[in-house]
Amino acid sequence: MSRELKIVEAINEALFQGMERDERVMVLGEDVGIEGGVFRVTSGLQEKFGKDRCVDTPLTETGILGAAVGLAINGMIPVCEIQFDGFIWPGFDHIINHIARFRTRTRGRITTPVIIRVPFGGGIHALEHHSESMEAVFSHIPGINVVIPSNPHDAKGLLLSALQSPDPTIFLEPKKIYRAIKEDVPEAHYTVDTKKAQVLREGNDVTIISYGAMMRETKLALTEYLKTNELDFELIDLVSLSPIDYETVIKSAEKTGRVLIVNEEPRTCGLAAELAAVIQEKALLSLKAPIERVTGFDVIMPLLKMEDHYIPGPKRIINGLTKVLNF
Amino acid sequence: MQIDKSKFPIIYGHDPRKGEMFQVVNEEGEIVNPDFMPDLTDEQLFEIYTWLIRMRISDEKANNLQRQGRMGTYPSIYGQEACQIGAVWPQEKSDWLVPTFRENGMMWMKGVPLEQTYLYWIGNEKGSEFAEDLNMLPVAIPVGSHTIHAAGIGWAERIKGGNNVAVCSFSDGATSEGDFHAAMNFAGVFKTKCVFFCQNNQYAISTHRNIQTASDTIAEKAFGYGLPGVMIDGNDVFAVIATMTEALKLAREFNTTTLIEAVTYRLGAHTTSDNPKIYREDSEVEEWAKKEPLIRLDKLLRAKGILDDEKAAKVEEDARQEVSIAAKKALEAENPKITDMFDYLLSETYPELEEQKQQLIEETNE
Ligand SMILES: Cc1ncc(C[n+]2csc(CCOP(=O)(O)OP(=O)(O)O)c2C)c(N)n1
């Protein structure tokens, strides 16, 4: 049985099922209880599971993420909600210095299977600090998995999968498409591999890699492009931003010889740069063109009036595509 | 220098640990604490009233603009106007204001034209480009983060031998952030010239103040840092003015930072994206509405013969006109240039950045 769900609803369902199956799972964050979260992702959880398992915390990300370390060490599986991406930084110490390190430091004796859910990225015309894409910062940290779904089906399956993992996960939620896509999601419990990139379409001319909300922009750009052009493209949803599934990526790059990477983070030292580095290391002789990065710019995310000039849209993506095809 | 505490009778004479809350004018508009009534002329009283009306109408306008899709998310100050006015009224022009995001009234009084504040919430960077002579930081959205910046400003002021005080405004939720702890601690250790002004409006979005802290008051947190703390009626503009006057003096003359907890209530939604009906009862709002700042100010001024229906109507009419002119200016203002995001980044540009800028220019011209 399945029915159509949006990403917010799919994540909500995953949390319900995760909490039902395992009583160690608890949700904590700002306004996650009575309010059900500012995006309503945790809606109904407190009613169903009570105030000890869906917890409105004081307003402190250090508190939320730091306490999650202790909760996890003492047997709980905390799912932390960070209200918006820009507010994770007060708690960053606990991610980089503790959550990611306990396993190594204790030689596997103490682990911290914490899930950190973060509404992520721009495009909803929100306030300052509500729209940044800093995924490379997270992927840069050894010792923590980073995943991002681009659709409701994966949103549910990836979260349920992360809940079963003995390792910590940063679960980025593309807030621009929280409610934009509705699709069939199975009612039953299921998992989606958090370590695997997904080939959404096979093709021979060019490899296009994207993830999260930019996957939708990329598809829009392709629809536009295909109105007047023919193209046998291969489309990859990266899904896992750490570790990266290079096997899938390299195989595709070797086949097509042309690679376009689309994301919305600032360009320098970004995930696209990392992908490009590894692709040239492993598939240089297959490449027919320089790897093209379509990204945001190396600037402070502008306020909402100018936000759309920062975020890659179909135009920038088509320009990048044309460049990599015509080299 | 030893502080003569008798010179600061509000701050040192009201102990929040005993549940004492300082008030000058009660909900009925009666002066219950005449010794502490600030020395204000009839003109000044009328000016305070005018400010309150202007703020209320500007707030209503912003909410409407947002509803019409002409403004982004907006945080209302409805019900908190006594705090907004009282925190700025006693300041010297050169004192610093370090606001969070619910200080639209304070910023206006401090000297930011209303149309500029509107610009910020419309999502235009020019909203934070203040006049050169204004000692004020822009809106701080990351909750609590600016409290420690205020401590730094007040610290530098003491080092420089300056005389300005950094007034930092925030709300109950901010007191849970680590930065608030650091700010209070630095303020105590480094004898900074600050006033920490907490508008305890009872909620941080849906989170009630009782979830925020297990302590009975926010003001009493000050004592743990070796600082004075005082709890006041934040809906009584005169209590706020009187307390802020003392706190500014204490900071200016004795490098001592006070934590003021101004007890108030956010009568409106958290922001235009919030629906407060999810987390609070109408009856609670109605109870607090009886205590809001305008009712008592209106009564007091009428009792003094400073205000009547005719004058009130005129104040409102003028405010509406002023506010709609400000809104019009903000709506008609030019957007920032698309290249601004590159040009304001650093003092000098660099080749890679210029290349990206060129890319955006070409993309936009296509
Ligand atoms: C560091 C940080 N975390 C979360 C948020 C999201 N957020 C915006 S306002 C708010 C509540 C603020 O409550 P409070 O400090 O009491 O101020 P009020 O809104 O009541 O004026 C939250 C959680 C934020 N802006 N910054």
Residue A180 forms contact with B (CB below 8 Å): no
The pLDDT of residue B366: 81
In chain A, % of residues over pLDDT 70: 100
- Judge: B342–A302 Cβ closer than 8 Å, yes or no: no
Query: ipTM of the predicted structure?
Result: 0.96
Best of B78, B143, B197 for a ligand 1 pocket test (most atoms within 8 Å of beta carbon): B143
Q: Are A209 and A171 in contact (CB under 8 A)?
A: no
Which pLDDT score is estimated for B32? 98
Q: Is B123 on the interface with A (CB under 8 A)?
A: yes
The predicted-structure confidence for A53-69, as pLDDT tens digits, reads as follows 999 999 999 999 999 99
Average pLDDT over every residue of A134-145: 98
> Residues 34-73, chain B: which have Cβ within 8 Å of A?
72-73
Q: Which residues in chain B have their CB less than 8 angstroms from residue A126's CB? A: 72-73
Summarised one tens digit per residue, pLDDT across range B303-357 is 999 999 999 999 999 999 999 999 999 999 999 999 999 999 999 999 999 999 9
- Give the pLDDT confidence score for residue B209 in this predicted structure: 97
Structure letter (DSSP) for residue B22: B
Tens-digit pLDDT profile for residues A84-112: 999 999 999 999 999 999 999 999 999 99
Dig out the tokens for A110 from the structure. Answer: 């103490």
From the CA of A65, how far away is ligand 1's center (Å)? 17
Size of interface A-B (CB pairs under 8 A): 124
Asked if A66 contacts B176 with a C-beta cutoff of 8 angstroms, the reply is no
pTM value > 0.95? yes
> Which residue does chain B place closest to A29, by CA atoms?
B207
Asked if the Cβ–Cβ distance from A59 to B125 is below 8 Å, we say: no
What rounded mean pLDDT belongs to chain B? 98
Q: Which residues of A fall within a CB distance of 8 Å from B340? A: 302, 306
**pLDDT exceeds 90 at position A243:** yes
Catalytic member of A94, A98, A129, A130: A130
Q: All domains of chain A, ordered by start, with CATH?
A: 2-186 (3.40.50.970), 198-325 (3.40.50.920)
Nearest CA to ligand 1 atom 20: B204
β-partners of residue B232 are B22, B262
What are chain B's domains? 5-335 (3.40.50.970), 336-366 (no CATH)
Band of the pLDDT at A228, cuts 50, 70, 90?
A: very high
User: Could you tell me which residues are beta bridge partners of residue A267?
Assistant: none
For A146, the 3-state DSSP assignment is strand
Average pLDDT over residues B256-281: 97
pLDDT per residue over B138-168, tens digit each? 999 999 999 999 999 999 999 999 999 999 9
B203 lines ligand 1 (CB under 6 A): yes
**Percentage of residues in chain B with pLDDT exceeding 90?**
99
Within its chain, how far is the Cα of A233 from the centroid?
Answer: 23
What is the residue-averaged pLDDT of chain A? 98
pLDDT in tens, A4-18: 999 999 999 999 999
Rounded Cα gap, residues B200 and B219, in angstroms: 10
Instruction: Tell me which chain A residues have a C-beta less than 8 angstroms from the C-beta of B279.
Output: 34-35
Give the pLDDT score at B34.
98
Q: Which of B70, B120, B128, B141 to mutate to test the interface with A (most CBs of A within 10 A)?
A: B141
Choose among A316, A247, A250, A320: nearest CA to A290. Answer: A320
Nearest to B125 among A61, A90, A303 (CB): A303
Question: In which band, very low, low, confident or very high, does the pLDDT at B16 lie, cut at 50, 70 and 90?
Answer: very high
